[in-house]
Amino acid sequence: MKEKFNPELVKCIDLSFEGKGVTKTSYGVCFVDGLFPGEEAYIEIQYRRAGNLFGKVTSLVKKSPHRIQPLCGVCSACGGCQFQQLDYDAQLEYKTKKVKEALERNKIKGIEVLPCLGMEENPYNYRNKIQVPLGLNKHGKIISGFYRANTHEIIAIDECFIEDVRAKSIVKNVKQLMKEFRYSPYNEDTGEGLIKHLIIRTSYHYKQIMLTIVTAYDEFKGRNNFVKALKERCPEITTIVQNINKRRTNVILGEKERILYGTGHIKDSILGVDFIISSKSFFQVNPIQVEVLYKKAIEFAELKETDDVFDAYCGTGTIGLIAAKQAKSVLGVEIVGDAIKNAKNNAEINRISNSSFIVGDAGKVIEDLANNNKRFDVVFVDPPRKGLDEKFINTLLKIKPERIVYVSCEPETLARDLAILNKSYVVKKVQPVDMFPMTYHVETVVGLYRK
């Protein structure tokens, strides 16, 4: 039987690590989207999950001085943004505080967390990768947008204010052509329909755009004419890729691809180093802030021409290739084979000869190298959200490089790992960077120096 709750008037006392307003109700602590510290509101508790209550605002009684009018009319329903109603300075303060509190919970004290570095000009329209699901509304019209938080219900959106502005017209034209060519969007419930997702990747430094059309099956009638018509309407698109995903799964991309137009990739640049981006390549989504992030990482590394560098979780070689300009050598390791192919290609196109990249588990590779008396002066780590594994940390403590630069997308696992590394390293510099304005996410760069 579904639990029932009465509406309550509450006061927001804080923001959670997911950017939700923290309130106290007669039923316990409740997390509420779009409610900010100091605000009072009537809320409706919607559900209990893992012992926690979650609710929504039904009526706002007292507003925060930091509340602003959002650009997007559906930001409270869409799962893409959490902070469009919060002014940008307050967003940055929240992200700085989030990192500080994560460190304090892990008993890392006396370390200055620098103010979060935000976008200096426009904190909107920054995303260079846009993933758009397609569907039909109740009137049979093709819609595109984002999934409502924790659901697969599409919230129809004609313009997203955190995406590259060039995406809007491309999505609009694809939907118009789908109607003309009688292509149906994929229906998750029935398994019928052709087009599942559109993925648009834009280059910041070059006039290049890639469109990936994810389809439920391989061959479809009129494909060549569809591509020709799309090129005519959107000449700014420089390459079109068809990705075939026949599985009924939450995973967006399938294994098989076909280049329908152009080279199948685009090129972009970070701090003067060019990178090839394919449909499956990982590449930071904020091309302006990634330069801020990597500048800090290189600064904290204090690189010298005699340094041997280990780049763990190297992806397509971004940090390693930038560091190679100032170091003796760079070895990058990544478990994803396609990423290593891209890294080698990126080294070649930039004529960087003092770098090498291998496929493997970073922890095992560095352990094997340590057992063969190989040492590194600097180690860069940029792990996934789960942070570093125990074997990798133990090996770092064993080989003791002079400097470690930790780039993290998750303050909690960062703090957990720093608490262990703190045995042999001094944590001197902690710099949050806002890679994802209007959301609760924050990147952090930390400089660790051997005691």
**314-329 residue pLDDT tens:** 999 999 999 999 999 9
Q: What is the DSSP letter of 162?
A: T
Q: Which CATH number does the domain housing residue 192 bear? A: 2.40.50.1070
Distant-in-sequence, close-in-space partners of 31: CB < 8 Å, separation ≥ 6: 16, 18, 20, 21, 22, 23, 52, 53, 54, 55
Domain end residue (candidates: 246, 270, 294): 270
pLDDT at 1: 59
Query: Which residues does residue 209 pair with via DSSP β-bridges, in sequence order?
Result: 202
Amino acid at 238: T
Residue among 225, 222, 215 nearest 192 (CA): 215
Q: Is residue 290 part of a domain?
A: yes
Q: Do residue 165 and residue 302 come from a single domain?
A: no
Q: Is residue 33 part of a domain?
A: yes
pLDDT at 224: 96
Cα separation, 128 vs 166, whole angstroms: 10
Region label for 302, one of left (φ > 0), alpha (ψ between -120 and 50) or beta (otherwise): left
Cα separation, 446 vs 106, whole angstroms: 15
Q: Is residue 75 part of a domain?
A: no
Q: Is residue 78 part of a domain?
A: no
Catalytically annotated residue among 12, 75, 81, 409:
409
Q: Which CATH number does the domain housing residue 308 bear? A: 3.40.50.150
CA distances from 394 to 307, 334, 367, 388 (A): 22, 19, 9, 10
202: exposed, middle or buried (Cβ count in 10 Å: 0-12, 13-18, 19+):
buried
Q: Do residue 99 and residue 63 come from a single domain?
A: no
Q: Is residue 216 part of a domain?
A: yes
Q: Do residue 114 and residue 34 come from a single domain?
A: no
Region label for 163, one of left (φ > 0), alpha (ψ between -120 and 50) or beta (otherwise): beta
Q: Is residue 84 part of a domain?
A: no
pLDDT at 78: 80
Cα separation, 414 vs 405, whole angstroms: 12
Q: Is residue 86 part of a domain?
A: no
Q: Is residue 2 classed as helix, strand or coil in its secondary structure?
A: coil
Domain end residue (candidates: 33, 51, 67): 67
End-to-end CA distance of the chain: 58
Check if the beta carbon of residue 96 is closer than 8 Å to that of residue 161: no
Cα separation, 229 vs 289, whole angstroms: 35
Which residues of the chain fall short of a pLDDT of 50? Answer: none
Where in the sequence is the domain holding 45, given as residue range(s)? 8-67
Q: Do residue 261 and residue 157 come from a single domain?
A: yes
Q: Do residue 424 and residue 397 come from a single domain?
A: yes
pLDDT at 43: 96
Vertex 423 angle, CA 417 and 425, to 5°: 85
What order do you get walking across the sheet with 239-244 strand by strand? 154-156, 142-147, 129-136, 195-202, 209-215, 239-244, 256-261
Q: 225-231 contacts: CB < 8 A, separation 24 or more?
A: 225/181, 226/177, 226/181, 226/183, 227/260, 227/261, 229/177, 229/180, 230/173, 230/174, 230/177, 231/261
Active site annotation includes 409: yes
Q: Do residue 114 and residue 134 come from a single domain?
A: no
Cα separation, 412 vs 358, whole angstroms: 29
Q: Is residue 318 part of a domain?
A: yes
pLDDT at 147: 85
Residue among 206, 162, 164 nearest 434 (CA): 162
pLDDT tens figures, 15-46: 999 999 999 999 999 999 999 999 999 999 99
Cα separation, 69 vs 86, whole angstroms: 8
Residue among 314, 255, 309 nearest 279 (CA): 255
Largest Cα separation within the chain, whole Å, is 68
Q: Do residue 108 and residue 157 come from a single domain?
A: no
Residue among 250, 138, 262, 129 nearest 196 (CA): 250
Q: Do residue 184 and residue 263 come from a single domain?
A: yes
Residue among 250, 385, 262 nearest 313 (CA): 385
- Global pTM reads 0.93
pLDDT at 373: 85
Residue 443 is inside which H or E element, if any?
strand 443-450
Quote the radius of gyration of the chain (alpha carbons, Å).
Answer: 24
**CA dihedral angle for residue 369, residue 373, residue 377, residue 378, rounded to 10 degrees:** 20
Q: Do residue 350 and residue 213 come from a single domain?
A: no
Q: How many domains does the chain have?
A: 3
C-beta neighbour count of 217 within 10 angstroms? 11
Residue with tokens 């304005």: 437
Check if the beta carbon of residue 443 is closer than 8 Å to that of residue 408: yes
Q: Which CATH number does the domain housing residue 37 bear? A: 2.40.50.140
Q: Do residue 47 and residue 185 come from a single domain?
A: no
Q: Do residue 240 and residue 379 come from a single domain?
A: no
Helix 390-399 × helix 411-421 angle, to 10° = 40
Domain end residue (candidates: 214, 244, 270): 270
Q: Do residue 367 and residue 330 come from a single domain?
A: yes
